[in-house]
Structure 1
Amino acid sequence: MKPVDRHLADILAQVRPLAPLEVDLERALGAVLAEDVTSPVPLPPFDNSAMDGYAVRAQDVVDVPVSLPVTEDVAAGDGALRAIGPGLVARIMTGAPMPAGADAVVPVEWTDGGVQKVTIHHRPELGNAIRRAGEDVRAGQVVLAEGTRIGASQLGILAGVGRRRVRIRPKPRVVVLSTGSELAEPGQPLGPGQIWESNSFMLAAAVREAGAEGFRAGAVTDDPARFLDVLDAQLLRADVVITSGGVSMGAYEPVKEALAPLGRVAFEKVAMQPGMPQGFGLIGEENVPIFTLPGNPVSSYVSFLLFVRPALRRMQGLPAGLPETVQATTTESLRSPAGRRSYLRAVLTGHTVAPVHGQGSHQLAALASANALVVVPEEITELPPGSTVEVIPL
């Protein structure tokens, strides 16, 4: 069987980052920057008040309490050139530019709130409550580096440095297609021999969690010709296709039957549990990556984490590899088949990890109760309680 690491390496060798494009800020959320973003000006652009209060010369308020005349009001957005002389103060609002000559701000709470004359009860330190020009960002400074995922705060700084459009790598468009004549749409009554289809919901959600766009294409029956018709139609909107089911060794394996003769998708046994049957290739005129995952839901989900998610990261211009792990101590003994790397569903609490009851590849409820996968290497078949193990947090 093929090692997990080699299978992922073969996938990543064939996957390329999507071409960058320029979009308006409103469309950039969740995408990955394809450029370094610098600030054209210092932030703040000018010295301004951090509080509502009074702009003063610190040397005029050494001995307190002291009453001083208020010469003017300075509001946020005031563009006039203003200055205060010795023994004078200006009432100032948060964000307003500091008048020339002022070197401290007295918060209104330290005063009697006077309008024409103010009594100051506490002495401010030099520079008190002043936001200095450039203290957040220097002119020309890189505020976001290429490869940064754009969230709400990143959108904030993009707008804050005056950008209206930004160059990004778009979110990969991923079509998810399940196969199986036994599958019924959730919400519909079950017929004899049927189960409700869950994989496409789970995988489309996992795609979105990975920063891509997930589209459910529903389920198709075990008819290879019908599968190919649906696949051809979906390629028009897909940067990636994920299928689940139809890749094992049974008599009705529509994905394998439909794609194997084309010679562009390799179907292999990977040394892992769950998820041994795997397929990957490039299809269509645009060489769209297709992942043919096993149909058991736990196998499908683990396969997504190990192989699809790293590929989606590569397509977004991000570092790609196997999921990061942490070390923990297992509370129970663990078993694993010889020659396969096991991914056991578990609950991670602090530095200890406990396997959940129900490790079958069909046991979706057990997966839903887990928050981690315990990784048991290929050469190990049994571990006693108290062993240190590598764990993938989910």
Structure 2
Amino acid sequence: MITFKEAYQKVMDYPLDLGTDVVPLMKSLNRILAEDICADRDFPPFNRATKDGIAVSFSELLNTGHKFKIEGEAAAGVPQQILKNTGNCLEVMTGAVVPENTDTVIMYEHITIANGEVTLNEKVTKGQNIHYQGSDEKKGTIILAAGTRITPAEIGVMASVGNSLVTVKGNPKICTIATGNELVEVDAFPLPHQIRKSNTITLEAALSVAAIEATSLHLIDEKEIIHRELKNALIKNDVLLLSGGVSKGKFDFIPEVMESLGVEKVFHRVAQRPGKPFWFGIHKELKTVVFSFPGNPVSTFANYHLYFLPWLTTSWGLPVTEHNIKLAAELQITPPLTRFIQVKTTWKEGTLWASSVTENGSGDLTSLAKADGFICLEPRDEIYRVGELVNFIKTK
């Protein structure tokens, strides 16, 4: 059995080169940019009116007093209009190009219009209510950097610069695999000795957050069937995410079958709770990485976030970001196991605090819905004190 830190490092030592994909813009949501996105023109591309009102020449305002004749109008979506007589004004709409010979926009709420003339009711500042060309970004500027996760905001930015196709980090082909005769489908009514499949469903849902679509298998506890199905899965996929079959039970065949299929065991069993029986290996010829998690729901869920997600981030060539949080209560973690404790988070005076979630062991699936993540506490003789900063693994 190895320590959590040793296991984590060994997993990080086996990243895959996932390459890149080119996908339609609307298919890039939640993917990772693999290219810099640059402004194809100034942002905004013209001096843009930010209010509905009138456009005037500020210098003429000083010379002609506070009344202007309306010469015409400038609407959004039409070419730039020209104010022919700078002593007059043009009505202007939000989003329109600020007319030539004008430099100030006055909103309707600050004027009175009567008989084609405008009277000003408020003090005016030169250049007000104008979004100047290039004030956000200049043409050629990097506006989204490679490595950015694409959210709806990034979709909008890329649409504005004409990126109908986007180069993103490649996703691995993944198969989630449940083991055990006790498992039945979600829509089945289980017998007293059965339970519904939830671990692989949870894994597939978690993968979908990263825009990864996984295939799924359910293996009953028969060695020949497990051997045949795993052989095919190893050939077809980059990653196998298994749940169950790695403890010391009579029907826990996964380690033995993996060895017979040429999967090299990197480690089996980690000094941690939950998730101690975790098995990790790689088929070097096929370049398939195998994460075989314990079958208890909290163990599977924890190990997915503790190991697989950082591994995926590393395979994309990105740094793994660590987060810290303050403890709301004292905790004692004695050797030898690293503990991953489910917590609920709260903000207090600008600081994020962690409070333990009541749970009934690693089989307590419902506790996952109550928690925002796990805190990682290494074993030590000294008590973890209130207010101490500890590592936080976010799951929501």
Per the TM superposition, whether the score is higher than 0.5 is yes
Contact 1:212 1:312 in 2 (8 A): no
SS in 2 for 1:226: helix
Residue 256 of structure 1 deviates from its aligned partner by 1.7
Contact 1:185 1:196 in 2 (8 A): yes
2: CA distance, partners of 1:227 / 1:203? 20
Deviations 1:87-132 (A, max 9, x none): 1111111111112210101112222345843333223210011110
Question: What residue number does 1:301 align with?
Answer: 301
- Which ranges of structure 2 fall in alignment gaps of 5 or more residues? none
1:153 aligns with 2:153: yes
Question: What residue number does 1:15 align with?
Answer: 15
Question: What residue number does 1:261 align with?
Answer: 260
Deviations 1:309-365 (A, max 9, x none): 1112223332236x533232325x5454x2211112233334654433335221222
Contact 1:241 1:290 in 2 (8 A): yes
2: CA distance, partners of 1:289 / 1:218? 16
Residue 231 of structure 1 deviates from its aligned partner by 3.3
Question: What residue number does 1:330 align with?
Answer: 329
Contact 2:29 2:211 in 1 (8 A): no
1: CA distance, partners of 2:227 / 2:107? 71
Question: What residue number does 2:359 align with?
Answer: 358
Residue 254 of structure 1 deviates from its aligned partner by 2.6
- Which ranges of structure 1 fall in alignment gaps of 5 or more residues? none
Residue 192 of structure 1 deviates from its aligned partner by 4.6
Contact 2:82 2:101 in 1 (8 A): no
SS in 2 for 1:363: coil
Question: What residue number does 1:26 align with?
Answer: 26
Residue 153 of structure 1 deviates from its aligned partner by 0.7
Map 1:68-107; keep pairs closer than 5 Å: 68-80=68-80, 82-107=82-107
1: CA distance, partners of 2:130 / 2:383? 61
1:51 aligns with 2:48: no
Contact 1:32 1:317 in 2 (8 A): no
1: CA distance, partners of 2:181 / 2:19? 38
Question: What residue number does 1:230 align with?
Answer: 229
1: CA distance, partners of 2:135 / 2:251? 66
SS in 2 for 1:320: coil
SS in 2 for 1:102: coil
Q: Sort the Cα spacing of 1:391 and 1:10 in 2 relative to 1 into closer, same or farther, 3 A.
A: closer
TM-score by length of 2: 0.89
Comparing 294-303 and 55-64, the one that deviates more: 55-64
1:314 aligns with 2:314: yes
Contact 1:201 1:216 in 2 (8 A): no
1: CA distance, partners of 2:327 / 2:384? 13
Q: Sort the Cα spacing of 1:368 and 1:334 in 2 relative to 1 into closer, same or farther, 3 A.
A: farther
SS in 1 for 2:155: helix
1: CA distance, partners of 2:44 / 2:343? 49
Question: What residue number does 1:138 align with?
Answer: 138
Question: What residue number does 1:376 align with?
Answer: 377
Question: What residue number does 2:245 align with?
Answer: 246
SS in 1 for 2:139: coil
Question: What residue number does 2:282 align with?
Answer: 282
2: CA distance, partners of 1:306 / 1:18? 20
2: CA distance, partners of 1:89 / 1:56? 5
Q: Sort the Cα spacing of 1:257 and 1:203 in 2 relative to 1 into closer, same or farther, 3 A.
A: same
Residue 389 of structure 1 deviates from its aligned partner by 5.6
Structure 1: which amino acid aligns with 2:188?
Q
Contact 2:179 2:218 in 1 (8 A): yes
2: CA distance, partners of 1:174 / 1:222? 22
Residue 13 of structure 1 deviates from its aligned partner by 1.8
2: CA distance, partners of 1:372 / 1:343? 9
2: CA distance, partners of 1:389 / 1:239? 36
1:339 aligns with 2:336: yes
Structure 1: which amino acid aligns with 2:345?
L
Residue 193 of structure 1 deviates from its aligned partner by 2.2
Question: What residue number does 1:199 align with?
Answer: 199
Deviations 1:160-183 (A, max 9, x none): 122222211133343211100111
Contact 1:330 1:389 in 2 (8 A): no
How many residue pairs get aligned? The number is: 389
Comparing 81-90 and 110-119, the one that deviates more: 110-119
TM-score by length of 1: 0.89
2: CA distance, partners of 1:225 / 1:3? 33
2: CA distance, partners of 1:352 / 1:56? 54
1: CA distance, partners of 2:389 / 2:139? 48
Deviations 1:55-104 (A, max 9, x none): 10113334897332111211112225523433111111111111221010
Contact 1:275 1:302 in 2 (8 A): yes
Contact 1:265 1:282 in 2 (8 A): yes
2: CA distance, partners of 1:64 / 1:245? 84
Q: Sort the Cα spacing of 1:343 and 1:55 in 2 relative to 1 into closer, same or farther, 3 A.
A: same
Deviations 1:184-243 (A, max 9, x none): 22231223522222211222222223x141435142211232223333444576332200
Deviations 1:247-274 (A, max 9, x none): 1122111322311223423141211111
Structure 1: which amino acid aligns with 2:186?
P
Comparing 29-38 and 16-25, the one that deviates more: 16-25
1: CA distance, partners of 2:346 / 2:149? 28
Contact 1:106 1:129 in 2 (8 A): yes
1: CA distance, partners of 2:114 / 2:76? 19
